Structure 1
């Protein structure tokens, strides 16, 4: 016979007698000074498990029964026999679920229903893996219906098991704790080299930027920096490297016979390690570059695939010679001997530019049964020297010239509140479809029966989108929203939108009203509720930390607006948590993710005069930035970048680094539209528990945080995995073959022109450098 815990997690049970558990029905209990806890397990004549609970502590009474087959209030969408609660005083504690060393850890504490202030002690502590205990705490006084942020200084702690504990006395008495996740990363380190590939005898120059989570120079003391060759031998090291304004610059001279392969620069900041690799190899610089201009997407109706081949020297002159163009459809197969199709090869003359055409049906033998990928391999041979340079390009052939997709503002709709989605029509290059004549037919319904769907017709806006606004009934029976759309001959059935869940069918929804949320400007949030609100609490989480928290009174209204000032710490993505507690203790919550404009606090402009200069002449470079900026300048031969890149620090690298501190979920549609206009996204939380989980937060409360844990069955598709692996292998082979060249090396000319660090001071800084024969990129 199965135990209570094995019966679908549907039976709510506790030991018959014993000490008070930490939580009952997911409601953390109070410190029981005079209370009584009883949990006898009973069985009625029909064999149903029954639980009778009684908990008395400062007026708190919880009692009731739960039968087998009735979903647990923590799990099921509805629970007719959920024990009724009568609690007059509540508390909520919201904090980041990630703990990092050498950072500040902020906790938001809120109390409700108390007649006097509550003295709250918040501490973070635990046992370190290396031995020893860690503990830091602070005590604050929280007035009723207010929120207070507690700041804790987390020192240089190592990996271990840590927890957050909150204790309250006075207005609300409680003692609650939860485990935290430790992540051993609290610094952002960027490593830049002057090149990505070096020859024997070259000098390797590199810079290390050590920054805080706010991209400011970190004060960490001495760094440990060392370089290892391709065989793991330590070639050079700096035991106590010191930074200048967060920057350490070093170099190493390669011998004439070094170990070839991938070398590694390792930086140790406190006890955190960061790496950057570069390549040492025998190579020749390409004299010219070859590019293939071909649309990334085409349709079978185009009949012809037209490719334009361009070849020019690094100094801009056209290349004369012969171009060999090979086209063939790629075929992915999971079998040992893949299907092979003979490539179509054409040889043409080129004088800087040439055009070649391939017939989709006659030459490539493609039909419109399914989407195909056609690869172009191009090799250009210079007429005078016979040197060759090659490149590759791909084009995807589709049945239709446009695609239709559904952009959800949330993965779940909330009964009784507005739900918005967008049907997006765009060409495969991302350009929107603009059509004033043909309408988009949309059918939808709150069931799986497509025959009973309602139909609407919409015009496309200038962005190729149709805004769909739904008002789902406030009914427990509405569990899904089905949407399908049709445009001309294309018809799409989109995935179902599931309903959010609440034991009482009560929901709130947050929406951003500011057009383009920008750093250092106010952001307005509107909150709608299915029930009248008396108060509202919100927290703003950025880069994995609670930055703003507040509780605002509401005059018994279904709608309320509030504002907060956006800061750099909230960029690139801010998670807005909005909550309120019902009189019966249910936590009603929603979350909103906002993409912030103005991620970087500084700017840099470069002016070069003249743009073209004779060897040995002077070149003036003007660098503009904020006063007292520390500017790194790199000028590199364009031919080196054609051979190998990846040595520099890009804006995308910085943005991705900032995202690494965010423990919340990321949405692809929101980041896809980041540069076009401001966009927001609801994380798509089915329950109140998911609201906090998907925002990277934990919550402690004596209220009910609804949670749903369905049973899932998952089977890995081995065939798809093998196809993906083969695709990656074929791609790797294609990239490797495209880098082969037979050009002669240039001698006695530097590949790195500039490698300087300059202090901007209070005015624009002007530098003067001598020009060399080459095209340089700065």
Structure 2
């Protein structure tokens, strides 16, 4: 960007062949933070009658601890946001805080009935009055256990195996072992009960699998899971086939796939035909296709399938009807190109010569960028603030009711057919075979049932050019004071922005001069080669001296305007220093 770009949202587009992508970048005025404030709660969730405690760290971008004052304000949502607790204490790089229990908050359906408390944490540098703040959200729960029921597929196939995953976890999503009672009820299209069963399961590491085989005439499957005061409910509709023939796909080990692994799946069918066709769809493209006379399907996972893909399996019956099913699966992406980047020193003084050594696998084009860590602190603070605001808006800016005596009538039962299965995979169907559409069943009038999930928890800058040459030293102004050896005046925010090419052995080095900023520089090297593909490496360098000063200037000023200039002196020597400061 130019030194004076238009402010607002810029759109960056990239195109390669028929593939295009774009990203929005916001350009706006900013001031880099001097230090970073981080909050670590004693636990991610608290009961309504439990004190809220946490640990705060404040660190300058050059790695030293911040001495100042810690301020914490806590607010809860009770229809409106109200502050209910505050805390103040000195801090020397780190400090603890404890606030009174929330007592009560309003739970909302979007948060699963849980409530939230916002913590505004501020660290003030007393010598300059400078302050940095961050915002943290803490979950408030009425029970220490949450229960979820996750079906393996959005629809089940009558007379074929179907599995449910029962999950027990703490309010912050950590696995928790618990005993769960699972009740399953099946209904046909006349809403008559055609089956019922109860399972007692013990979750291990927070999960348990319940294997079912729905009866042939079932169109809905209702599951309720209870563990103590925690409750979960899920209803699943059956798929639709005019002839009553279905196939079902399930994933075998390994569940978490990596590039190069052998993926295995099993196909079950209610018909006698045993020939299946299958396709793997990733990023709206078919990346692999095949057929099998065996119920076992396996293939090698390729980079084109990362980070997620879908396996579609279908079968053409003797009646020319098509039966289909699909299952999504995740692929863990890896960088195939091994790259390393290191500085020849971990810490240097401003203006020192520094060498960056990069190693790649054979010749490669390498992009190098080194950015002041304060830029990342600013980005993290803004992202954290945006996430908090977005979450608050999602949970609380829509009209909410805190007590629900009844729920609206549920909609019709949607039974997807083979055509919807192809469409959900992202494929268009053009065939002379019978690819049935789904159908809907209207529900009969049912009496209202209590609640639909809500709850009230009861009381309880632009990169600089080349480094500037050393300016002449200023003369001493007082008897006995040492002369200034070097005036720091090169303060970029992006230090290195280079493209280099490694040799046949994969080696390339870059000699640069350290800027005058007292900070930590974060380096990233991105290498690309036709043979090895993409690789990324990171390194960091600390630029520091034990005594320095820093002037806090306003972002901008009008000609003729008077404005304050604060100068902070930092002495990390072992002995006190006698100073003369001139502006």
TM-score bracket relative to the smaller structure: 0.5 to 0.7
Unaligned 5+ segments in structure 1 are 1-203, 205-251, 333-338, 649-683, 714-745
The answer on whether the counterparts of 2:61 and 2:519 sit within 8 Å (CA) in structure 1 is yes
Unaligned 5+ segments in structure 2 are 384-413, 444-487, 524-583
Q: Does 1:693 align with 2:436?
A: no
Which residue of the other structure, out of 570, 584, 590, is the alignment partner of 2:325?
A: 590
C-alpha distance in structure 2 between counterparts of 1:491 and 1:519, whole Å: 38
Which residue of the other structure, out of 18, 35, 41, is the alignment partner of 1:288?
A: 35
Q: What is residue 496 of structure 2 aligned with on the other side?
A: 754
Q: What is residue 372 of structure 2 aligned with on the other side?
A: 637
C-alpha distance in structure 1 between counterparts of 2:154 and 2:234, whole Å: 10
Q: What is residue 68 of structure 2 aligned with on the other side?
A: 321
Q: Does 1:299 align with 2:42?
A: no
The answer on whether the counterparts of 1:511 and 1:592 sit within 8 Å (CA) in structure 2 is yes
C-alpha distance in structure 1 between counterparts of 2:22 and 2:48, whole Å: 51
The answer on whether the counterparts of 1:259 and 1:280 sit within 8 Å (CA) in structure 2 is no
Please give the secondary structure, in 2, of the residue aligned with 1:310. Answer: strand
State the 1:520 CA deviation: 3.4
The answer on whether the counterparts of 1:411 and 1:685 sit within 8 Å (CA) in structure 2 is no
Which residue of the other structure, out of 83, 87, 91, is the alignment partner of 1:350?
A: 91
State the 1:601 CA deviation: 4.2
State the 1:575 CA deviation: 2.2
Residues matched between the structures, number: 437
The answer on whether the counterparts of 2:308 and 2:329 sit within 8 Å (CA) in structure 1 is yes
The answer on whether the counterparts of 2:78 and 2:106 sit within 8 Å (CA) in structure 1 is no
Q: Does 1:702 align with 2:436?
A: no
Distance 1:342-1:535 versus aligned 2 partners, 3 A rule: closer
State the 1:711 CA deviation: 8.2
Q: Does 1:400 align with 2:130?
A: no
C-alpha distance in structure 1 between counterparts of 2:252 and 2:75, whole Å: 51
C-alpha distance in structure 1 between counterparts of 2:48 and 2:495, whole Å: 50
State the 1:456 CA deviation: 1.7
Which residue of the other structure, out of 235, 248, 257, is the alignment partner of 1:509?
A: 248
Q: What is residue 209 of structure 2 aligned with on the other side?
A: 467
Distance 1:491-1:511 versus aligned 2 partners, 3 A rule: closer
After superposition, give the CA deviation of every residue in 1:606-644 in whole Å (9 maximum; x if it has no partner): 333422222233434333444333221111111122223
Q: What is residue 573 of structure 1 aligned with on the other side?
A: 308
State the 1:685 CA deviation: 7.8
Distance 1:579-1:259 versus aligned 2 partners, 3 A rule: closer
Please give the secondary structure, in 2, of the residue aligned with 1:644. Answer: helix
Taking structure 2 as the reference length, the TM-score comes to: 0.67
Q: What is residue 528 of structure 2 aligned with on the other side?
A: none
Q: What is residue 535 of structure 1 aligned with on the other side?
A: 275
The answer on whether the counterparts of 1:571 and 1:599 sit within 8 Å (CA) in structure 2 is no
Distance 1:617-1:380 versus aligned 2 partners, 3 A rule: same
Please give the secondary structure, in 2, of the residue aligned with 1:520. Answer: coil
The answer on whether the counterparts of 1:298 and 1:398 sit within 8 Å (CA) in structure 2 is yes
Q: Does 1:604 align with 2:352?
A: no
Q: What is residue 777 of structure 1 aligned with on the other side?
A: 522
For residues 448-487 of structure 1, what are the structure 2 equivalents within 5 Å? 453-461=196-204, 463-473=205-215, 475-476=216-217, 478-487=218-227
The answer on whether the counterparts of 2:73 and 2:83 sit within 8 Å (CA) in structure 1 is no
Please give the secondary structure, in 1, of the residue aligned with 2:147. Answer: strand
After superposition, give the CA deviation of every residue in 1:330-370 in whole Å (9 maximum; x if it has no partner): 345xxxxxx45344333222222222221115xx6659996
C-alpha distance in structure 2 between counterparts of 1:400 and 1:345, whole Å: 25
Please give the secondary structure, in 1, of the residue aligned with 2:82. Answer: coil
Please give the secondary structure, in 1, of the residue aligned with 2:436. Answer: coil
For residues 131-530 of structure 1, what are the structure 2 equivalents within 5 Å? 204=1, 252=2, 254=3, 258=4, 261-262=7-8, 264=10, 274=22, 276-281=24-29, 283-295=30-42, 297-300=44-47, 303-332=50-79, 339=80, 341-360=82-101, 371-433=114-176, 435=177, 438-447=178-187, 453-461=196-204, 463-473=205-215, 475-476=216-217, 478-492=218-232, 494-515=233-254, 516-530=256-270
C-alpha distance in structure 2 between counterparts of 1:374 and 1:350, whole Å: 23
Distance 1:747-1:632 versus aligned 2 partners, 3 A rule: same
C-alpha distance in structure 2 between counterparts of 1:367 and 1:264, whole Å: 39
C-alpha distance in structure 2 between counterparts of 1:308 and 1:268, whole Å: 43
State the 1:586 CA deviation: 1.0
Taking structure 1 as the reference length, the TM-score comes to: 0.51
After superposition, give the CA deviation of every residue in 1:295-339 in whole Å (9 maximum; x if it has no partner): 57323255200132222211222222222221111345xxxxxx4
After superposition, give the CA deviation of every residue in 1:687-721 in whole Å (9 maximum; x if it has no partner): 111110011112222221111243899xxxxxxxx
Distance 1:613-1:483 versus aligned 2 partners, 3 A rule: same
Please give the secondary structure, in 2, of the residue aligned with 1:694. Answer: helix
Distance 1:274-1:592 versus aligned 2 partners, 3 A rule: closer
After superposition, give the CA deviation of every residue in 1:695-753 in whole Å (9 maximum; x if it has no partner): 1112222221111243899xxxxxxxxxxxxxxxxxxxxxxxxxxxxxxxx96422212
Distance 1:777-1:763 versus aligned 2 partners, 3 A rule: same
